[in-house]
Structures are given as C-alpha cells and as structure tokens.
Chains A and B, each alone.
Chain A
Amino acid sequence: MSTLARKALVIFLIWTISQPAYPQKDIVTRDSDGNIEYRDSDGNFMENEAYEVSDDGMTSKYAYESPETDNENKRESHSFEHSGEAGESRTSNGAGGNNGSKGFYEGVIQKSRTDRNYAIQSSQNIDSRLQKSQIAFSKIVSNASGESLASGEMNQTISHLIGSLVNSNQATLFSSFSGQYENNKFKNEIYQQEALKEELRRLFPDLYGQNIQQIKQAQDVLRNWTLVGQLMKNSGFDSSLVEAENAISNVQKSVDLTGLGPVDRKLMVTIDQFNQDAFSRFADYISNYLASIPTSQFDLGTNQKIEVERLIFEAFKSVSQNHDYLAAASSLLQAKEILKYSEPPHESEFGPDDLIGAGSVVAALGKGLSRFGSKELLIKIVNIEDRNAIRKVLTEFTDNGITVLGKTGKYEAFGKRIGANIFEIKPALWKMLTQEEWWIINKEFLDKAVLRGDRIVLSQKVTDINKVNGFLKRELDYLINEKNYRLSANGRELLK
C-alpha cells in the first residue's frame, strides 16, 4: 500500500471515529446546586438535569425538563423521588409542575425511550465503526505483509484508533445513559473491561497474536543472554540486560491492559540493539579472557590442551552457528575450570599466541559481525589451520623492514623476490570472507607494518592515486589519510 493511500485510510478512520454518536450540546452550564442546563449553538434551551439529596440524606430527587415542554405556556417539569428504603418509592410533582403521576411517568418513559434509542444507535455506530476498522485493518495487513516496518506502524495506528473509538463511544454512552439507569444493561455490557478486551481480540486476532508472539520472541532473545550475564558480572552488562527486560515488561503490561497494545518496531529495535551490543561485549570478553590467562596455564598435558581447544571451539560454534549463548558461556566456564586446576609446566606444541592471537582477531571480527550481521565468520577462524594462517600474516614478518603493496599478480611476486612482508591469505579462507572482513584483517596488517616502521614500497609506479581502484586504493587512502603517509615523488613508495 502506498504511503498516500495509507495516510488516506488513517484520515478516514480518524474521521469515522470522530463523528458524534449523540446530538451535540454546544453550551453546558452548571449552577451552584449542580443543576445542569444544555443549550444548542444558537442558545436555544435543550434540556436540563437536577439532582438533589433530601435533608434526611435518604431521599434523592432527579428532575428533568424536556425541550418539548420548554416554552412559556406548556413547560412541564417532572421529578422522581426515590426512597432509601428498599422497595418503597413514591412520586410527586416537581416544584413548578402541574401534571399528575401519569404525566410524570410519561415524561420519564419518553426520556427513557429517547436515551435508549440514542444508546442503541450509539451501540450500532460502534459495531459499524468496528466493522469498518476491521475491514480497513484486513486490507492493511494484506497489503503490508512482508513489510515489517509498515505493518508495525499500521498495527500501532490501528491499535490507537480502536482505543480512541471505544473510549469516545464509552464516554458518549456514559454521559447520556448510565447516570439515569441504575441497572443499565448497556453499561454492564460495554464497560466490562474483560469483555471489551475479548471483543478487540476477537476482531483483531492477527494483531493480538502477533503482539504476543513478538513479546515472546523478545523474551527468548534475552533468556539466551542470562548465563552470559552471570559470566560477565560487574561489566555493565547486567544493567543493559535489566533495561531490555524492562522495555519488554512495559509492553507486556500495555498488551495486558488494552487487549492489543502498542507492540511495534521500537521494541524490536531496542532488543536488536541490545543483542548487537551484547554480542560485541561477549566477543571482547572472550578476547580478554583468553589474553588474561597466564602463559604457564597453556602448558597443559596433551589431553587437557585438546579439551580446552575443543571447548573454546564449541563456544564459538554455539554463538556463530546456533546463537546459543547459554551453551557458549557454559563451554567457556568448563575451559576456565580446566585451566584453573592444571598444574604447569607441561610440554606443549601450541603456545599461548595461538589462542591470544585468535582472541584478538575474534574480538575485532566480532565487532565487524555485530555491525555487518555476518553469522559465519567466527566459526571460520576457529578452525585451527585458518587461525594459524591469520596469525601468521599478522604476527610473522621479515627482518628487512619492507612491506610491499600493489596490484594482485604484481605485489606478491615482487615482495617475495625482495623478501618483504606481503598480505596474503590462503584461498579457502579468502573466499569465505566478506568484503568488510577482508578489510578488518588487511587493516590490522597495515597497522602492524606502520607500528614496526616498515618502508611501504609499491610493486608498480603510482603517479595519480585517483586513477587507482579496488583494494589497493583503499589501502593507499588509509595510509595517507589516517596514518599521515604521502606518495613519493617517483611514485614507488609511501613516505612519512
């Protein structure tokens, strides 16, 4: 559905519910005794109401003057006295009335009929408007299917419209009707909150079901982070979790209260942001956790080493493949226990660099993951062979202090010929990485070259950087714009 059509529909619905269900009384005055007088917009008298309590406090009197009798010659006034004693009532003429009990009853009955008709009409209006809204809602849902944002906005709009509609009609009926009938059938039917909620749920089963489902999904997301929260105590994670839980709780209350509730995109955005932030924090935690383990603790016996490797592998796998943070946290806790009780020293073919290096890359890529949404990367680099490949390119370098950059097919041959550092990764891993993941690792490579103070040599002459494209352009831009390098006069290297 187009934006224009959607707006038109909303305007139509608002117009529909704004139509009065009862004739408007434009001028309302109330005197010091509480008597109310209604006049129309031209100042003509319409009706008045008076309500009094007798001296003994037991008898109340309701007086009513109808517009039909409001003229100089034939003004009728009816009063109704109701004794506080059960089953005993009597009638009398009003203060200015000259009619007998028959006239009084006729007046009351007439007024009752009039109000009842208004009430019925209002009730019919409610049904009519709800039906229109239901049709409109069905159209919106069918047109907005597949567009969660539009659907969410529309759900919220409709929810508010229905709330307004019911409230406005409740108010209209109440003012016209309920005050005059102790045993008000319509009042009981309409004002039963549970009945009203059920009606709304019946009329909009899809919306109600969708809201409940969204709340459950949001709760499931948070449930997965509970154990991680315990693992990351005192890191600020707990308060973020509580904040997200409160957001869900507020929406839950709203749904319970109204029968529909404003579950909209905002809640899902809140949960999604929490999820991303939590994932990033978790990746940092894993990295710091690995880096904080003393070197000696890695000198495990072979079986223990294999078990620790397996548990850490399982942790990453749980996060990246299944989004099961509970299982990931559990695996890490087990690994921690093994390392805690191991008794160094033991001979080991793997050093701490393997895990620490992987940990730092995981953290960097984890942030990339949370930004770009890739779910596959962590598991890729947990593979020991791939991990070593990344570690090698980031940590092993030649002694001649030269790093070579350039176009593919040129820089590798030239770099190898002169024994320089080059950025090169095994093809299986390269093909598995996204463009941004390429850059995360490549940038790390460049940063380390800068840190070592390497000469940055180009495998082919570059005279105009603007004529360079692809990855080489990004490398040159980074070094020049963020690391303060400049192109040499002969175009063969970058200088500080």
Chain B
Amino acid sequence: MILTTLLKEIILIPRKFYTLHNISEYDLLMKTGYFENYELVTEQNLYETLCQYPEEIEYWLTLSDDNRSSEKWLISQSKNGKYVVDFFPRNIHEKKAVEFDDIKRACAMYIKRDIEQTRNI
C-alpha cells in the first residue's frame, strides 16, 4: 500500500465513522491496512497529512469527546488556549499530559496514540 494513501485513510476514519453509522472504529482502522504497516505511520507524517486535510481535525476532536470507554486518550483545549493530549485516567501507566500551541501537532499525537490503543485491544 502506498504510504500517502494509508495516511489519508487513517485521517478520514472519524469522518467515515460518523457518516456511515454502521462500522466501528476498529473495523475502519483495520481496513486502512494500518495493522500490517503501523511502523510506517508516525506523528510527523500524520502531521504532514493533517496539514493537507485540516478540516478533518474537527472530526477527531468530536471522536475524542464522544469516547465513553474507561481508558482512553483525549485531546482538548485548556483554559490558556493550548491543546492538551492526555490519557484518562491520569494515574494509569504514569502517562503525562502534553501541551501544544499547534492544534495539528496535538491532533497528530492524539491520532497516533489512539490508533495504537485500537491496534492493541
């Protein structure tokens, strides 16, 4: 699979999830081919893809907001205007929140961590 196609398909996952209704996030990720090529996908190339498709960021924010699972990665905006990528609950695995000024950078980190969690379930 061509890497650019793989990256684009990953970026489009939440849009498809909310428009198709009848397919899970796990199934969408599996169909991208990520499980076989996960090592090729990095926060950096996800960031570069997000720069081409910035309109997809809103879908990722909604997906994060809607997550009702007991352990999850989150992306949110703090009161000081920065974007925060965090793990819930905080005390698990000693993961620490990371702050970004650039929403694309924050979203790229969130995507990579979220899809890794999905891959490992």
Contact = CB atoms under 8 A, between A and B. Distances in A.
A433 B67 contact: no
A469 B24 contact: no
B108 to A, nearest CB: 19
Interface size class of A (residues with CB under 8 A): 20 to 34
A436 B117 contact: no
Given A424-B68, A472-B65, A409 B24 contact: no
Interface size class of B (residues with CB under 8 A): 20 to 34
Interface string B55-81: 000000010111111111010100000
Contacts of A430: 67-69, 72
A429 B24 CA distance: 10
A90 interface: no
Interface in B12-65: 17-18, 21-27, 62, 64-65
A425 B68 contact: yes
A408 B21 contact: no
Nearest to A423: B68
B67 to A, nearest CB: 5
Contacts of A407: 65
A438 interface: yes
Nearest to B65: A470
Chain A interface mostly: helix
B72 A427 contact: yes
B121 interface: yes
B62 to A, nearest CB: 5
A238 interface: no
B24 A470 contact: no
Contacts of A427: 69-72, 117, 121
A102 interface: no
A431 B64 contact: no
B72 A432 contact: no
Contact of B64 (A372, A408, A425, A428): A408
A376 B121 contact: no
A426 B24 contact: no
A425 B70 CA distance: 6
Contacts of B17: 434-435
Contact of A432 (B18, B26, B86): B26
Given A430-B67, A435-B21, A469-B65, A409 B76 contact: yes
Interface of A: 372-374, 376, 407-409, 412-413, 423-438, 442, 469-472
5 contacts: A408-B66, A412-B70, A425-B68, A431-B121, A470-B65
Given A431-B121, A438-B66, A469-B62, 9 more contacts: A376-B27, A408-B88, A412-B88, A425-B68, A427-B117, A427-B121, A431-B69, A436-B21, A471-B68
